[in-house]
Chains A and B, each alone.
Chain A
């Protein structure tokens, strides 16, 4: 299977995401200015500081030509994973519910965090078990997930929260300790922690690999 990893001006973790994807399939980098998704099976919107985080995080990237194709891909049910800045872009693009606000402490924090898998029967978590703990690093300044009360209730009741910060691990103030959330249709998922930085035993935990494996499993089963 092939992943397409987006690159905007200011994206930082695209090569890391590509390396992670290549552990379970093939991966190509897709330039922000192109519209061609090159027939990939899944899209990853990676971390970084696209467009310098100018105006609002993710606000400018969402209008990139490549994003028009990604939005169409998502509307047709294609799997889309947004990591950190990618999560921010997908929220701005209206593909995911809510928005990301500045961390409560207003500081950038880079720290290994424990996450709990809330649902394992999804495109992005089928390689995990419900209730499983994943150890994955998070590194961001603007990661406090927020939704107005009515939307938040809808998201919770719809089982759209796939990953939560374990007790004590929520350093950014996300409501409901939400670390990662999916859309209603279940094919778009965004999370603030960086699974691509938890795939190599030489550099830390390998729990992040499960998310990429899950996507590959899904694509493989639906060929």
Chain B
């Protein structure tokens, strides 16, 4: 078909050097089955070739850590013999192609990772980034990605309880869809994926196997794809939440009954990665009979069966005497189950069809021997990203800026999005989206319950500010996540991360990635929060350039008493309002700077991480003691936006003193709208706030009351915005775009 045939290994993304290494490991040329399997296992996505060395910097130990990186999900101890397993993963490229199914299968995949370790899924959160909403494509991607997440999560009975959503030019061609899931298990139920026990059976259960996601490997098809072969063409992965619901209940019942030796879900690279990783962790081998795999489409070739990414499938290892019981449980849950192979002590992964060996590789070669590459980072000498498009008139003053910020797409009310998600199923949700800075879920009550413990979770990433300063921007993102937990009274126990970057073979991207990981490592160490696992998504760039470097962080924390979970809204007229923490507002890199079309600064101000940590802990403890009526961390739009959010969240206005900030001009704007880490807006009784002032920087600034947000400036000038005006602006922002 092609005139000068591209060498198959190159068409599959392997370099010549990698190909030679494979030949050396096998002692011969790989055949089509083996080549396709190596090309997947040695791809960036599976092998982390460009990031593994960097990720070694991240701290992975902590007092609450039960399971660290390397398993399907990490897990932390939350007391009473319970563990929370959690992880975040990206599904960026599929979502750019087919956003509904891409986002849906992203949710499906991360849920499977959680129940694969034996944890019942409790919640989903999602971090989404698209181009600006004045682009029809971005509106389309947003609508369908949100639809896909809702469709999958709602149907499977797992609440979507939080998330974040941002719009920036550099994501126009490369959107980001990162999905996080958490699950709960008794400690002793946490399951690992290592295949053990030569002679044990390998059982595949779940959906039938089709040609989903075969993608580039189709170049290996022995029959050429002609005009009439549309059904043979690789297709987008389609998710079926109903199938996954049954699969989940089935898996959990199999684990409850202790019928499994190990369990692994099938995700990227399908049977190939799952089986080889199971074998690798167990130090053993596997024989897989592809002709026993139940198929959705006729005539699939062995390599197709091994690389298919059909959704909603799991692999387990079962002692021969228990296979019948396993099949019976699967039948009860209307889930197809088949013995497709067995564990061996050969150390090799063998693929058989009709009794003949069609592929035979050392497990180590597939899983461990992929070369790892050093990055060649180099700080760019010129800006990579254009200045954001200006959307605010040049002469906009403070009065006009606040409603404009509230209506801007990065700040506006996310209700049109989160109302498409069921946040209530499973009856654990103490804080719904928008009620507080983090989501809060009840833990099962211990038998002698007085207080009711709960977990808190937040997902926070940063793109534009990391582009300004990859190290400090990433530190800020980690701090913000911990601050969100502090505002509800939770202590962080562990962190999962997704690193979304451009092409790491380019020195300036390598620099972004190295600096960002260094920042994450330092911030995690400074907060004593270990990384329990995560994901890397590279090569997010196109002809127009790379995405902003976007680390996304998900943190899980615990609070001892759900009745005292913090809220963000001002609740009682007459309450005192205070600003707390080592916060220094700064304009460059802020949302206001973006709306004004200012170029990205080279670098962000330094952060006193230790002081921020102390402030977070003090706020957390005050929330736990029930001393604060509300707590909200300062983020996009600075103090003024945070104040507006507190007013609108609680339905009460406020009068706030900003004297000393100047009555006009840049100093005032920077004080009102400047951004940075470490700031909190708190409300409560004067004595309670005064007590907190003895521990951390805290300034009384005003009082809750009325139906407007009024700020007093120098010379007794005031600015005032009726809450109705602010509410209308905030509600309009996304509603106009989503419809």
Classify A-B as touching or not with yes or no (CB < 8 A): yes
Binding site for B on A (CB under 8 A): 9-13, 15-16, 19, 48-49, 51-54, 107-111, 137, 139, 194, 196-197, 200, 202-204
Report A110 CB to chain B, min CB distance, Å.
5
Q: A52-B240, A202-B430, A202-B452 are in contact. Are A12 and B156 (CB under 8 A)?
A: yes
Q: Are A10 and B425 in contact (CB under 8 A)?
A: no
* 17 more A-B residue pairs beyond the given contacts A49-B157, A196-B427, with a C-beta to C-beta distance below 8 A: A10-B155, A10-B242, A10-B245, A12-B157, A12-B245, A13-B157, A13-B425, A15-B426, A52-B242, A110-B420, A111-B419, A139-B425, A194-B424, A197-B424, A202-B563, A203-B430, A204-B424
Q: Nearest 3 A-B pairs (CB), nearest first?
A: A12-B157, A52-B242, A16-B427
B241 interfacial contact with A, CB 8 Å: yes
28 examples of A-B residue contacts, CB within 8 angstroms: A9-B242, A9-B246, A10-B155, A12-B156, A12-B425, A13-B157, A13-B425, A16-B426, A49-B157, A52-B155, A52-B240, A52-B241, A52-B242, A54-B242, A108-B151, A108-B420, A108-B422, A110-B419, A111-B419, A196-B427, A197-B424, A197-B427, A200-B427, A202-B563, A203-B428, A203-B429, A203-B442, A204-B424
Q: Does B150 contact A (CB under 8 A)?
A: yes
Question: What's the Cα separation between A52 and B207 when bound, in Å?
Answer: 15
Is the CB of B423 closer than 8 A to any CB of chain A? yes
Closest chain-B Cβ to A212's Cβ sits at a distance in Å of 13
Asked if B325 is at the interface (CB within 8 A of a chain A CB), the reply is no
B 304-343 to A, binary, CB cutoff 8 A, 1 in contact else 0:
0000000000000000000000000000011000000000
B130 CB–A CB distance under 8 Å: no
Contacts of B126-175 to chain A: CB distance below 8 A: 147, 150-151, 154-157
B426 / chain A contacts, CB cutoff of 8 Å: 15-16
The answer on a CB contact under 8 Å between B420 and A109 is: yes
Contact A110 B155 (CB under 8 A): no
Closest to B146 in A: A107
B240 and chain A: residue at smallest CB distance: A52
- Distance in angstroms between the alpha carbons of A48 and B154 in the assembled complex: 8
Give every chain A residue within 8 A of B240 (Cβ-Cβ).
52
Q: Contacts A108-B420, A196-B427 known; A48 to B563 CB distance under 8 Å?
A: no
Interface membership of chain B positions 207-251, coded 1 if the CB is closer than 8 angstroms to chain A and 0 otherwise: 000000000000000000000000000000000111001100000
Q: Which residues of B contact A13 (CB under 8 A)?
A: 157, 425
CA separation between A194 and B157, bound complex, in Å? 14
Q: Which residues of A contact B154 (CB under 8 A)?
A: 49, 108, 139
Q: How many angstroms from the CA of A11 to the CA of B442 in the assembled complex?
A: 22
Does A202 contact B242, Cβ atoms closer than 8 Å? no
- Minimum CB–CB distance from A47 to chain B (whole Å) comes to 8
Residue of B nearest to A16 (CB): B427
**Chain A residues with Cβ under 8 A from B151's Cβ?**
108
Residues of B within 8 A of A16 (CB): 425-427
Interfacial chain A residues near B471, Cβ < 8 Å: none
Query: Cα distance A51–B243 when bound, in Å?
Result: 9
Which of these, A49, A107, A137, A203, contacts B155 with CB under 8 Å? A49
In Å, the complex CA distance between A111 and B418 comes to 10
A110/B242 in contact, CB under 8 A: no
Task: State A108–B423 Cα separation when bound (angstroms).
Answer: 12
The reply to whether the CB of B669 lies closer than 8 angstroms to some CB of chain A is no
Do B420 and A107 touch (CB < 8 A)?
yes
In the complex, A48 Cα to B241 Cα: how many Å? 12
Of A51, A108, A111, most buried by chain B (CB within 10 Å of CB) is A108
In which size bucket is the chain B interface? 20 to 34
A contact residues around B562 at 8 Å (CB): 202
- Judge whether A137 and B563 touch: CB under 8 Å: no
Bound CA span A52–B563, Å = 36
Cα A203 to Cα B429 in complex, Å, equals 6
Q: Let me know if B86 is at the binding interface, CB within 8 A.
A: no
A110 partner residues in chain B, CB cutoff 8 A: 418-424
A61 to chain B, nearest CB (A): 12
What residues on B are CB-neighbors of A53 within 8 Å?
Answer: 155
A19 CA to B426 CA in the complex, in Å? 10
| Cβ-neighbour of A9 out of B245, B428, B432 (below 8 A) | B245
Contacts of B245 in A (CB 8 A): 9-10, 12, 49
The residue of chain A having its C-beta at the shortest distance from the C-beta of B147 within the complex is A107
Inter-subunit contact B427/A48 (CB<8 Å): no
How far apart sit A108 and B424, CA to CA, in the bound complex (Å)?
Answer: 13
Give CA–CA (A51, B422) in the complex, Å: 18
Complex alpha-carbon distance, A110 and B146, angstroms: 14
Partner among B147, B242, B424 whose Cβ is within 8 Å of the Cβ of A137? B424
| Cβ-closest chain A residue relative to B738 | A107
Across the interface, name the chain B residue whose C-beta is closest to A194: B424
B544 to chain A, nearest CB (A): 32
List A contacts of B418 (CB < 8 A).
110
- In the assembled complex, the Cα of A40 lies from the Cα of B241 at a distance in Å of 31
Q: Shortest distance in angstroms between B452's beta carbon and chain A's nearest beta carbon?
A: 6
Complex contact B422–A139 (CB within 8 A): yes
User: Which B residues are CB-close (under 8 A) to A11?
Assistant: 157
**Closest CB-CB distance, B557 to chain A, in whole Å?**
18
- Which chain B residue shows the least CB distance to A31? B332
A200 closest partner in B (C-beta): B427
Assess whether B150 is in contact with A108, with CB atoms less than 8 Å apart.
Answer: yes
Residues of A within 8 A of B155 (CB): 10, 12, 49, 52-53
User: Are B157 and A48 neighbours in the complex by a CB distance under 8 Å?
Assistant: yes
Q: Are A51 and B242 interface neighbours, CB within 8 A? A: yes
Q: Give CA–CA (A110, B156) in the complex, Å.
A: 15
What's the minimum C-beta distance from A96 to chain B, rounded to whole angstroms? 23
List B residues 385-420 near A (Cβ within 8 Å): 418-420
> What is the CA–CA distance of A183 and B200 in the complex, to the nearest angstrom?
56
Q: Which residue from chain A places its CB closest to the CB of B424 in the assembled complex?
A: A197
Complexed CA–CA distance, A11 and B154 (Å): 11
Complex formed: what's the CA distance from A54 to B424 in Å? 23
Q: Smallest CB–CB gap between A171 and chain B, Å?
A: 9
B350 to chain A, nearest CB (A): 36
Point out the residues of chain A lying under 8 angstroms from B242, CB to CB. Answer: 9-10, 49, 51-52, 54
Tell me which of B156, B334, B419, B562 has the highest count of chain A C-beta atoms within 10 A of its own C-beta: B419
Interface centre among B157, B419, B429, B432 (most CB of A within 10 A): B157
Question: For chain B residues 520-566, which have a beta carbon within 8 Å of chain A?
Answer: 562-563
Q: How far is the CB of B212 from the nearest CB of chain A, in Å?
A: 18
Residue of A nearest to B150 (CB): A108
Which residue, A11, A12, A51, A53, has most C-beta atoms of chain B within 10 A? A12
Q: Complex: how many Å from CA A15 to CA B156?
A: 14
Contacts of B429 in A (CB 8 A): 203
* Alpha-carbon gap, A83 to B430, bound state (A): 22
* Whole-angstrom distance between the Cβ of A64 and the nearest chain B Cβ: 13
Partner of B419 from A10, A109, A202, A204 at Cβ < 8 Å: A109
In the complex, A200 Cα to B430 Cα: how many Å? Answer: 10
Contact A9 B333 (CB under 8 A): yes
Q: Are A9 and B419 in contact (CB under 8 A)?
A: no
State in angstroms the CA–CA spacing of A51 and B511 once bound together: 50
**Residue in B closest to A141 when the chains form the complex, CB atoms:** B154
Residue of A nearest to B433 (CB): A110
Give the residues in chain B near A48, CB-CB below 8 Å.
157
Q: Which residues of B contact A19 (CB under 8 A)?
A: 427
Complex interface: chain A residues within 8 A of B422 (CB): 108, 110, 139
Q: Which chain A residues lie closer than 8 Å to B430 at the CB level?
A: 202-203
**Chain A residue at smallest Cβ distance from B563:** A202
Q: What are the residues of chain B within 8 A of A51 when measuring CB–CB? A: 242
